[in-house]
Structure 1
Amino acid sequence: MDLITRITQQFDESIAAKQAATEELAGPIAQAIDLMVNTLTNGGKVLACGNGGSAGDCQHFAAELVGRFERERPGLAAIALTTDSSALTAIGNDYSFNEVFSKQVQAIGQPGDVLLAISTSGNSKNVQLAIEAAHAREMTVVALTGKGGGQMVKQLGENDIHICVPHNRTARIQEVHLLTIHCLCDGIDLCLLGEEDNAQ
């Protein structure tokens, strides 16, 4: 297979994955937007955690809220738990890598906050422990997963929201996760700012 054919195949598979996910994910994404808007407008914050590419997604999401997405607005309270290298290495060294997120949730999570827990497999142990810590702090969880949700799906309570990409390939799941993050940011802005005036 030549490179052009291979690249075209990647694009086609990504498009198909997004189309297949649309109907299944639109509802839970809308629920997550409502939850996050309610949290943010009541003085709460969104904490986000994940590993590898999911760590990058956490940082992307938090940056869009704290700075801006596509429209000007005041900054919104969001923290990626993946960015503080001193905290991550101290916790990893003194306790274990499994606790790098849960310790931070215990320290800065408050009742009414939201944890955005991202794992393509749903089986990341440190994300699972972060969910446990969030529940102990009376926080609500938005789980962003794939591959059926893995072990994380068993942890979720009736007030939590599960956004599970209906795919088994990590790259495709991550691509839908990024689109989901953009949908969350756009929806939050829509709820806070109303429809954009395109007449100007």
Structure 2
Amino acid sequence: MVLNEKIYELNRIVYHIDKDKINAISNILIKGIEQGGTIFFCGNGGSGATANMFDELILKMNQELEELGVAKKVKSFSLNASTVHMSEIITNQSYEYIFCQPLLYSGTDKDMLIAISGSGNSQNVVEAITTAKQLCMQTIGLTGMSGGKISQLVDEGIIADSQNMQQIENVHSIILHMILTKVKNQLIISDNRKV
């Protein structure tokens, strides 16, 4: 694709994002945050990088909320963050269970999992969702292509309407920015109501 075609395609995909799903996911996260839950992220490759990036963005969002005097903080954890834990799990178990052990040790029914997979079929992400559901966590999926297995398993999800992995990963980043903006704004509004 030449540059203009890539930009056009990205705009097309973003334009067709289901805004009701953005609202539904934001509401799931806000409810979990209000209950003291943690947002867990996981994904492979570029999706794993997206997971790590948004864990960092939540840290920055918390700093902004603190500067505004908002008491509520958002707890988050990227299951991709620790290469030590990941390599230990791979050595002693299997790559498909790489995200399960940290969830079993740290997850509760107040928590949420955002599972990111361009294909929607990454087996280790599928296993993470299965584990999260066993813990009664709310599960959210960001996928692409046809949505794969993940879109059938999660409580709420968005499928980026593309077959191109780079575009899917771009759209996932945009979706997460939209969601975090809504969450931040709602936390500010909720905090102001308490005053």
Q: Same fold (TM over 0.5)?
A: yes
Do structure 1's residue 192 and structure 2's residue 187 form an aligned pair? yes
Q: SS where residue 158 of structure 2 aligns?
A: strand
1:58 to 51, 66, 69: 51
Superposition CA RMSD, Å: 1.8
Q: SS where residue 72 of structure 1 aligns?
A: helix
Which ranges in structure 2 are unaligned for 5 or more consecutive residues? 67-71, 191-195
- CA shift digits 1:97-132 (9 cap, x unpaired): 111101111111111210000001100000000001
Q: SS where residue 111 of structure 1 aligns?
A: coil
Counterpart residue number, 2:88: 90
Instruction: Measure how far apart 1:134 and its partner are.
Output: 0.2
- CA shift digits 1:11-39 (9 cap, x unpaired): 222222222x23xx211111111111111
Q: Distance in 2 between matches of 1:69 and 1:111?
A: 23
Instruction: Measure how far apart 1:58 and its partner are.
Output: 0.7
Counting matched residue pairs gives 185
Asked if the contact 2:39–2:112 (Cα under 8 Å) also holds between the matched residues in 1, the reply is yes
Counterpart residue number, 1:198: none
Do structure 1's residue 161 and structure 2's residue 159 form an aligned pair? no
Counterpart residue number, 1:170: 165
Which ranges in structure 1 are unaligned for 5 or more consecutive residues? 196-200
Counterpart residue number, 2:69: none
Counterpart residue number, 2:77: 79
TM-score for the superposition, normalised by structure 1: 0.86
Do structure 1's residue 108 and structure 2's residue 106 form an aligned pair? yes
- CA shift digits 1:34-56 (9 cap, x unpaired): 11111111111110000111111
Q: Distance in 2 between matches of 1:145 and 1:40?
A: 23
TM-score for the superposition, normalised by structure 2: 0.88
4+ aligned runs moved over 4 Å, structure 1: none
Asked if the contact 2:65–2:188 (Cα under 8 Å) also holds between the matched residues in 1, the reply is no
Matched residue type, 2:140 = V
Asked if the contact 1:66–1:75 (Cα under 8 Å) also holds between the matched residues in 2, the reply is no
Instruction: Measure how far apart 1:76 and its partner are.
Output: 1.4
Matched residue type, 1:86 = V
Counterpart residue number, 2:7: 11
Asked if the contact 2:38–2:111 (Cα under 8 Å) also holds between the matched residues in 1, the reply is yes
Q: SS where residue 121 of structure 2 aligns?
A: coil
Asked if the contact 1:120–1:144 (Cα under 8 Å) also holds between the matched residues in 2, the reply is yes
Asked if the contact 2:47–2:116 (Cα under 8 Å) also holds between the matched residues in 1, the reply is yes
